[in-house]
């Protein structure tokens, strides 16, 4: 297993009749075993898969409480429960001030994944499920709803200890509530927003297209380069790693590994040397999509000119080989209409 869990504790956050948060604290660490490691691996992968993340650094203009508590813990690793207690109290305070009515299990853990240490803080809901016993009786139990993790923050301790001012060592899930959740996490952690994954990804996408237009690639080669860029960025995102410009350049063209890197420098393109990526923003590299006037169309770029043909003069899109499920719907509808 690729996860090593060093310290873990879980508290329970409930709401009273006035919707005020109440905490039931665990008084000791949870013993580490294979089951715990498997849980953290699932949480790590689920967190990496969340598309809407913000990035931040500790700020002198915000409360220093969380940073000070974390620094004390880094000096005295055995005092993890004090860090968890401070984080829990600050979470309750900020939830109250931001008027967020949230309940669930607050999980705080120090773990290592592929040689990188992390501090994860997440609030997980629970979901009831049913099972059948050996005697064929029904039994009900609750499980942590990892898939719907919405309130979570993670600190890359390895990056943070190398550079306290790293612009994206701290990340958080923005969640469905958008700006309100972002403000909550920034205040909770005592941070200011740093690197913008979405903007960095868009800038990189624009620079790749500019490079492809200037380079002597034929259409097939351009399509292959776009695929390689997307695959590299997607893999980095899955691993929770940043895109590194030098590595991206190497992935784009094995015959000229520094071509894109040198082009960015020569043209003074505003592409960061290292940045978190939002894969969703890179979909135009490999897919065409659009919607309007009641019509929605989406297809992979590799099909253009083969299964999908566009006539710009007549503004007609021809699709050969209609997807089976769509074809079935159309045939059923036409049959029903004729009858």
The tens digit of pLDDT for each residue in 329-338 reads 888 888 876 6
Average pLDDT, the chain: 86
Q: What is the DSSP letter of 29?
A: P
Which helix (H) or strand (E) segment is 63 a member of?
none
- CA 67 from centroid of its chain's CA atoms: 23
Q: How confident is the model at residue 69 (pLDDT cuts 50, 70, 90)?
A: very high
Q: Which of 15-29, 129-143, 144-158 tops mean pLDDT?
A: 144-158
pLDDT at 161: 93
Instruction: Report the pLDDT averaged over residues 270-274.
Output: 81
Helices 65-75 + 80-97 axis angle, to 10: 170
pLDDT at 1: 57
CA distance from start to end of the chain = 60
pLDDT at 337: 64
Instruction: Report the pLDDT averaged over residues 176-197.
Output: 76
Separation CA 293–CA 291 (nearest Å) = 7
8 A C-beta contact, residue 155 and residue 169: yes
Q: Which of 46-50, 114-118, 144-148, 277-281 tops mean pLDDT?
A: 114-118
Instruction: Report the pLDDT averaged over residues 236-251.
Output: 85
Separation CA 18–CA 61 (nearest Å) = 32
Separation CA 314–CA 337 (nearest Å) = 29
pLDDT at 84: 93
Instruction: Report the pLDDT averaged over residues 180-192.
Output: 83
pLDDT above 70 (res 34) = yes
pLDDT above 80 (res 319) = yes
Find the range with the poorest average confidence among 5-19, 64-78, 169-183, 319-333. 169-183
Separation CA 54–CA 170 (nearest Å) = 8
Separation CA 51–CA 60 (nearest Å) = 28
pLDDT above 80 (res 194) = no
DSSP helix, strand, coil percent of the chain (3-state; round to 5): 40, 30, 30
pTM of the predicted protein model: 0.73
Higher local confidence (pLDDT), 53 or 105: 105
pLDDT above 90 (res 43) = yes
- Name the burial class of residue 299, with classes exposed (0-12), middle (13-18) and buried (19+) by CB atoms within 10 angstroms of its CB: middle
Alpha-carbon distances, residue 59 vs 89, 160, 193, 328 (angstroms): 20, 14, 9, 57
Percent of the chain predicted with pLDDT > 90: 23
Higher local confidence (pLDDT), 38 or 282: 38
Q: Where are the beta strands (DSSP E) in the chain?
A: 3-15, 21-24, 53-58, 104-113, 116-124, 126-132, 138-144, 151-156, 170-173, 191-193, 243-244, 274-275, 287-292, 295-300, 308-311, 316-319
């Amino acid at each position: 297993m690729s996860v090593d869990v060093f310290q873990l504790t879980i508290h329970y956050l409930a709401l009273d009749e006035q919707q005020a948060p109440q905490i039931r604290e665990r008084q000791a660490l949870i013993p580490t075993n294979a089951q715990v490691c498997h849980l953290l691996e699932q949480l790590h992968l689920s967190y990496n898969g969340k598309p809407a993340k913000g990035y931040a650094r500790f700020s002198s203009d915000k409360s220093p409480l969380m940073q000070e508590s974390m620094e004390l813990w880094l000096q005295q690793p055995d005092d993890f429960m004090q860090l968890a207690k401070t984080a829990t109290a600050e979470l309750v305070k900020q939830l109250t001030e931001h008027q967020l009515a949230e309940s669930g299990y607050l999980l705080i853990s120090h773990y290592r994944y592929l040689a990188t240490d992390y501090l994860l803080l997440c609030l997980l809901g629970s979901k009831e499920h049913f099972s059948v016993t050996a005697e064929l009786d029904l039994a009900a139990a609750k499980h942590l709803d990892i898939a719907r993790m919405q309130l979570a923050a993670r600190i890359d301790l390895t990056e943070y200890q190398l550079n306290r001012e790293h612009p994206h060592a701290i990340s958080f899930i923005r969640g469905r509530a958008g700006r309100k959740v972002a403000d909550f996490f920034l205040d909770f952690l005592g941070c200011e927003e740093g690197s913008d994954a979405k903007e960095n990804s868009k800038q990189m996408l624009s620079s790749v297209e500019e490079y492809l237009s200037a380079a002597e690639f034929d259409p097939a080669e351009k399509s292959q380069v776009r695929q390689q860029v997307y695959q590299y960025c997607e893999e980095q995102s899955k691993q929770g790693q940043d895109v590194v410009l030098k590595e991206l350049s190497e992935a784009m063209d094995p015959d000229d590994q520094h071509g894109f890197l040198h082009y960015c420098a020569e043209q003074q393109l505003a592409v960061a040397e290292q940045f978190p990526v939002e894969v969703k923003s890179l979909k135009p590299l490999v897919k065409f999509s659009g919607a309007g006037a009641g019509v929605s169309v989406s297809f992979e770029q590799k099909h253009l000119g083969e299964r999908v043909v566009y006539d710009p003069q007549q503004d007609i899109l021809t699709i050969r080989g209609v997807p089976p499920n769509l074809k079935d719907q159309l045939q059923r509808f036409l049959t029903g209409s004729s009858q």
